[in-house]
Amino acid sequence: MIQKVRGFQDIYGENAKKYRYIVETVRNIFNLYSFQEIILPYVEDISLFKRSVGEETDIVQKEMYTFKDRGGRDLALRPEGTASCVRAYIEEKMYAQGSYHKLFYEGAMFRYERPQAGRYRQFHQIGAEIFGVSSVYADAELIQMVDKIVKTLNIQARLEINTLGDFNSRKLYSQALRDYFSQYKDKLCETCLKRLDTNPLRILDCKVESCKEISKEAPVITDYISKESKDRFNELLDILSKLGVNYRVNPGLVRGLDYYTETVFEFITDKIGAQGTVAAGGRYDNLVEQLGGPPTPALGFAAGIERLMLLISQLEKKDILITIIPINSDYILKGLELSKFLRDSEIKSEFMLKTGSLKSMMKTADKFRTDFVIFVSDKLELKDMKSGEQLIFYSEEDLIDHIKGEKAV
């Protein structure tokens, strides 16, 4: 038997409902905050991710699904959405059409990571990006929106927040790390030796024990951040408090992607094991320019839909479901007509052809979480699955009136 690819999932049944519920809920919130949808390609030029997510990040170094197409182009399945969004912003010259843009996207992302609970090789994100606003109030508004998403989905997650400072602060900090780690060249792993030249910040993220040990005493970013960045960060914290958003400052939060400046944040839960970050994001004020666009401040976030799915309990059932069973082949057409009639009256119904014993059919109906079964013969026999009560009707109209009454209760 051919099996699904490792790290990929079939999402069906209750899980598919949860998936759609999350997407619908988040899209509604995006709508309240006036974000516009952008549907982005799944495949991009490899260099887009190298130049944005970063040449030295795990994502680009080890996790991308890359291939050559028949025309010899070097392509990648997208590992995240921000890079594509920025590319589209520049390529479609959105900057020329108004002073700022608020976009959202949703869909599959691909990373060749080690699969475990909450971590897959194909996963889905729903995220939003804002282009053209530098004000700290935009950071606050975005974070408050993510907080609202988490609360609306009834998920318990704490907000951790940090600042990486402006571009200059990051450069100073990188140099300080380079000086520090250079003393331990003999103890660093091979990857980190390379990172020492290219991006010493990444060493702080290394999972190799010896590197982790040395990182403990490394300089901390807070000591290298300019006064402006510190003030900005404090202002953000103050606004968040005023908006009723709880947070914890975590100076060790650096994120796994290279494009961030200033604010970075993660919403983290303890309820699903090691992969507890359900949503994450921050500012990336240099990225648009870095990818060839005009200087444009920007910020955004993305949530992992599978992780959210792990956190929401069984969904409440909203609609009444009616299952229609013709008692024998003489009544199939009558049953199908009744189903059409119910559906035309906006009542959800399942038309079930008699396949086995009545008992096994009732079992299937129960699995569908049916509220009522109607046995179709010369009469219409309605059975309430919860109370067991049975009622007999001779006209479809009377039956619908009765069901509508039940629906209203």
Among 44, 56, 58, 80, binds ligand HAM (CB under 6 A): 80
**Which of the residues 116 through 135 are near ligand HAM (CB under 6 A)?**
119-120, 123, 125, 127, 129
Which bin fits 262, alpha (ψ -120 to 50), beta or left (φ > 0)?
left
Largest CA distance in the chain: 90
Among 105, 131, 224, 301, binds ligand HAM (CB under 6 A): 301
- Residue 111 near ligand HAM by CB under 6 A: yes
Closest CA to 211 of 244, 233, 190, 188: 188
Residue type, 262: E
Piece of the chain touching ligand HAM by CB under 6 A; list 167-175, 239-247, 285-293, 295-303: 295-303
- Count of residues engaged in binding ligand HAM, rule: CB under 6 A: 26
Least spacing, CB of residue 114 vs ligand HAM, in Å: 9
Least spacing, CB of residue 110 vs ligand HAM, in Å: 9
Piece of the chain touching ligand HAM by CB under 6 A; list 44-52, 74-82, 191-199, 228-236: 74-82
- Residue 58 near ligand HAM by CB under 6 A: no
- Residue 82 near ligand HAM by CB under 6 A: yes
**Which of the residues 354 through 393 are near ligand HAM (CB under 6 A)?**
none
For β-strands 321-326 and 348-351, DSSP reports them as parallel
**Which of the residues 302 through 341 are near ligand HAM (CB under 6 A)?**
302-304, 306-307
Least spacing, CB of residue 238 vs ligand HAM, in Å: 23
Q: Which is nearer to ligand HAM, 268 or 361 (CB)?
A: 268
Place of tokens 């479609």: 92
Find the residue with minimal CB distance to ligand HAM: 304
Q: Which two tokens stand for residue 96?
A: 């020329």
Least spacing, CB of residue 268 vs ligand HAM, in Å: 9
Least spacing, CB of residue 248 vs ligand HAM, in Å: 16
Q: What is the DSSP letter of 97?
A: S
Q: What is the DSSP letter of 4?
A: P
Of all helices (H) and strands (E), which one includes residue 110? Answer: strand 101-110
Piece of the chain touching ligand HAM by CB under 6 A; list 135-143, 246-254, 297-305, 324-332: 297-305
Cβ 263 vs Cβ 161: under 8 Å: yes
Task: Read off φ and ψ for residue 207, nearest 5 degrees.
Answer: -95, -5
Least spacing, CB of residue 280 vs ligand HAM, in Å: 4
What mask of x and - would describe binding to ligand HAM in positions 252 to 291, judged by CB under 6 A? ----xx-------------------xxxxxx---------
Least spacing, CB of residue 148 vs ligand HAM, in Å: 17
Least spacing, CB of residue 235 vs ligand HAM, in Å: 20
For residues 78 and 246, give the distance between their C-alpha atoms in angstroms, rounded to a whole number. Answer: 32
Q: Which is nearer to ligand HAM, 121 or 383 (CB)?
A: 121
Three-state DSSP state, 369? coil
| Sheet strands side by side (includes 36-37) | 36-37, 101-110, 122-131, 298-304, 277-283, 261-268, 158-163, 248-249
Q: Which is nearer to ligand HAM, 54 or 281 (CB)?
A: 281
What 3 state SS string does 288-332 have? HHHCCCCCCCEEEEEEEHHHHHHHCCCCCCCCCEEEEEECCHHHH
Check the CA dihedral 286-292-296-302 and report its sign.
negative
Residues that bind ligand HAM (CB under 6 A): 80-82, 111, 113, 119-120, 123, 125, 127, 129, 256-257, 277-282, 300-304, 306-307
